[in-house]
Every structure is written in structure tokens, then in C-alpha cells.
């Protein structure tokens, strides 16, 4: 058993504790609180002067799947042969040896959702994984954890402008998404009658229509966000809004619809027309309106080692500190459907936690050690704990 003692501890699900103890055994948190009896044979780590938090949960990345300056050989972001590819699986393209995993562990990110990019109207399966391991199948928390979809500039450019095929407009993108959802309904009806030929793509869209999986819709501009919610209402499906750059312009509308927003990458430049209204005030405005939010890096578009800086800048622009910490831990875990295991420090959950030298939103604070399921997977050289 491992006992972390004398800690300034943020469980996230409850208020901050000082002088707290956390007991860990067999990869799980056994107890968290003050005045907890510590077994005599427990290994003790005195975390006085340190801050303990759950591992970050980054709900939208391309960790392990999107090459970084290695060229086409390691680029597996978009299956660009067609704008409709719901049958492809991110699971088949993630490289656990990619250095982006080590980068994630070094900043205390222990869970990520990773998957296809935004080139296609339907891009394939996303998956939620731990950031340590050698075999991707053993790192999975939930696979698939959603089907990637995209509206706005990217599918227009990838297919209309470059490939000279549909979609070349926003109208075309929405029409193609509707058409495939209708095909999914027809496929489900034929399945009931025993008349359907197996189709891997339609099987996945049927999971969306049966509410077994959400559609995770890339949408920056406010009108694209509204289009996503319109289509969700038409087909009675669950979605999350990925990026939500102009969400602050329609915050009350989005709150009324009840869909969560994964906001970012905000620590970036205005790379496209649809990101001209990029602002770190967006998370605060969405939160104030009642939208469930997660802060994201979209790694590699914002490098994952800057994730704590994203949270710090969101708080500097009006997001309450407690809301920011939740938007990087428990809220994304809920959005990804893995909150029973990760996202907070509670008895029974995975022992995924991070020892910081100070508060993570102070830029001089450092990650001293990162643990996943009770195992130390990162330690800063010459640092506590020994």
C-alpha cells in the first residue's frame, strides 16, 4: 500500500483538503481524507508543500496518431480517400511509442481521447485511453468513445477544393451527414427484418442512432455549431461540440440544447477564417451560461505540455478556478463516459494522480511525479519523491 500524506489535495468531486492523506493499493484509491489511519506497512510519501491533483483528462487530442514533423510515414490523421469513413478505427493507428505520450505524462495528463482529424464529414472511431503502456489495446478505457464528424472549413477544403468532389460548401457537408444518418436508419430497419447485408460503416452510425455512442462534431463557427444541434434534433442523437470557438456568441442557445462543449485549441493563432473570434473568454461565458465544458489542447495543434497553461489562461479570463480544474478532469471524464474510473480522487477510482511542486496554474510549478493506476510513470529528475 502507498500512503500520500500531509498533502494539499484537490479531489475535484469535493472541496480542497489540506494535510490530507490518500491511500492507494492494487492500482485503486482506497481512501482520501483527513485523519485516516495509515497501515504500519504502508510506503509513505510526505507531500507537504506539494499539491496533489487527479491526472488531467484531455478530451480532444490526436496523441499517438498524428505525426509531428515525421512526414507522411507517421501521419494517420484523416483517411482522405472519401469524405464518409465512419468504419475506420483510431485504435488501428495509435502508436504507443510516439513521444507525444511521454509529453502527456510529463504534464500530468493521464487520460486522453484521441482519434481521426476533421477532414471528413464522418471520420471514424475515437477512443479514450491511458497515456502509459506499450500495447494500445491494454491502454483503452473506452473504445470507441465516439464517432468523429466535422463541419465547417476543413471538409470543404479537403474534398471540395483539393479533391474536386462533394462537399464544397457547408450545405453539402450537412446534406452528406443527413444522407448517411438516413442510410443508417434504413439499415437498422433492414436489420430488424433480417434483410441487411453487414456494413461496417453503417454499423457504427447505427450505434449513434441507438444512442450507444455520441457524434463528436468538429465545429468552430457559431452557425456550424447550430447546424450540428439542428441535425442532432432531427435524428434525436447525442453530440458533443468539438472546439466551439464561437460558442460564446450563442452560449444561452447552446446551454438550452444541453450538449457539452470541448473548447479549444485556444492557445493558438487564428489559423482559419472560422477561428477569427478565438478568445480565452469563451470557456467562462459558456460556463456562466450553464454549458458543461472541457478544456482541450487538440494536440499537436496546442502541444500537450502546455495544458496547465490553457487552464491558467482560462481562469485569467474569467473562468473560476474550481470550474477550470473540473473542466480538465471530471467534466471531460463525464463527457467521455469514463467518470466511474478517472477524473477525481475518490475511493474506488483508478489511482491516476499527479504530485505538483505548487498550484498547476502557476507557470513556475512543475510536475514532480505522475502516477497511473498506482504506478509512477513519470518523475522529474532529482525531485521529490525519491
pLDDT at 385: 54
pLDDT per residue over 319-360, tens digit each? 999 999 999 999 999 999 999 999 999 999 999 999 999 999
Residues 25, 11: Cα–Cα separation, whole Å: 17
What's the farthest any 2 CA atoms get from each other in the chain?
A: 70
Q: Please state the φ and ψ torsions of residue 359, each to the nearest 5 degrees.
A: -65, 135
Give how far Cα 115 sits from Cα of 227, 241, 353, 366, Å.
Answer: 22, 15, 24, 28
pLDDT band at 67 (very low <50, low <70, confident <90, very high): confident
pLDDT band at 55 (very low <50, low <70, confident <90, very high): very high
pLDDT at 74: 83
pLDDT per residue over 5-52, tens digit each? 999 999 999 999 999 999 999 999 999 999 899 999 999 999 999 999
Residues 360, 325: Cα–Cα separation, whole Å: 9
pLDDT at 254: 98
Residue 384 reports pLDDT greater than 80: no
pLDDT per residue over 258-302, tens digit each? 999 999 999 999 999 999 999 999 999 999 999 999 999 999 999
Give how far Cα 330 sits from Cα of 10, 46, 175, 310, 334, Å.
Answer: 12, 26, 35, 16, 6
66-87: average pLDDT: 90
Give how far Cα 365 sits from Cα of 108, 144, 287, 337, 361, Å.
Answer: 12, 35, 26, 30, 8
- Taking the mean position of all CA atoms in its chain, how far away is CA 64? 14
Percentage of the chain beyond pLDDT 70 is 99
55-60: average pLDDT: 98
Residue 107 reports pLDDT greater than 60: yes
pLDDT per residue over 362-376, tens digit each? 989 999 999 999 999
pTM of the predicted structure, to 2 decimals: 0.97
- Taking the mean position of all CA atoms in its chain, how far away is CA 14? 22
- What mean pLDDT is reported for the chain? 96
Residue 386 reports pLDDT greater than 60: no
Least Cα distance to 344 among 132, 37, 32, 47 occurs for 32
228-240: average pLDDT: 98
Amino acid at each position: 500500500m502507498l500512503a500520500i500524506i500531509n498533502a494539499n489535495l484537490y479531489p475535484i468531486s469535493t472541496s480542497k483538503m489540506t494535510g490530507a492523506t490518500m491511500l492507494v493499493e492494487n492500482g485503486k484509491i482506497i481512501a482520501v481524507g483527513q485523519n485516516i489511519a495509515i497501515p504500519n506497512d504502508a510506503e509513505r510519501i510526505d507531500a507537504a508543500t506539494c499539491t496533489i491533483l487527479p491526472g488531467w483528462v484531455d478530451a480532444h487530442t490526436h496523441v499517438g496518431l498524428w505525426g509531428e514533423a515525421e512526414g507522411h510515414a507517421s501521419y494517420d490523421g484523416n483517411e482522405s480517400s472519401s469524405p464518409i469513413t465512419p468504419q475506420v478505427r483510431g485504435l488501428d493507428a495509435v502508436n504507443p511509442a510516439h513521444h507525444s505520450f511521454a509529453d502527456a505524462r510529463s504534464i500530468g495528463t493521464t487520460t486522453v481521447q484521441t482519434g481521426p482529424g476533421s477532414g471528413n464529414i464522418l471520420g471514424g472511431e475515437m477512443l479514450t485511453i491511458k497515456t502509459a503502456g506499450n500495447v494500445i489495446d491494454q491502454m483503452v478505457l473506452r473504445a470507441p468513445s465516439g464517432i468523429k464528424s466535422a463541419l465547417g472549413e476543413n471538409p470543404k477544403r479537403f474534398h471540395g477544393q483539393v479533391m474536386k468532389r462533394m462537399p464544397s460548401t457547408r450545405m453539402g457537408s450537412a446534406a452528406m451527414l443527413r444522407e448517411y444518418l438516413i442510410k443508417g436508419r434504413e439499415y437498422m430497419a433492414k436489420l430488424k427484418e433480417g434483410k441487411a447485408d453487414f456494413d461496417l460503416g453503417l454499423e457504427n452510425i447505427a450505434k449513434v442512432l441507438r444512442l450507444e455512442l455520441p457524434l463528436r462534431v468538429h465545429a468552430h463557427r457559431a452557425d456550424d455549431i447550430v447546424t450540428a444541434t439542428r441535425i442532432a434534433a432531427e435524428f434525436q442523437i447525442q453530440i458533443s461540440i468539438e472546439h466551439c470557438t464561437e460558442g460564446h456568441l450563442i452560449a444561452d442557445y447552446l446551454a438550452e440544447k444541453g450538449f457539452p462543449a470541448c473548447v479549444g485549441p485556444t492557445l493558438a493563432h487564428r489559423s482559419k477564417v472560422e477561428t477569427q473570434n478565438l478568445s480565452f473568454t469563451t470557456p467562462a461565458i459558456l460556463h456562466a451560461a450553464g454549458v458543461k465544458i472541457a478544456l482541450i489542447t487538440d494536440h499537436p495543434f496546442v502541444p500537450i505540455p502546455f495544458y496547465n497553461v490553457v487552464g491558467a489562461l482560462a481562469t485569467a479570463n474569467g473562468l473560476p478556478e474550481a470550474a477550470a480544474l473540473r473542466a480538465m478532469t471530471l467534466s471531460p471524464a463525464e463527457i467521455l463516459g469514463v467518470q466511474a474510473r478517472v477524473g477525481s480522487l475518490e475511493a474506488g477510482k483508478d489511482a491516476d494522480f499527479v504530485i505538483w511542486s505548487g498550484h498547476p496554474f502557476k507557470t513556475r510549478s512543475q510536475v514532480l511525479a505522475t502516477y497511473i493506476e498506482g504506478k509512477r510513470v513519470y518523475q522529474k529528475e532529482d525531485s521529490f519523491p525519491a
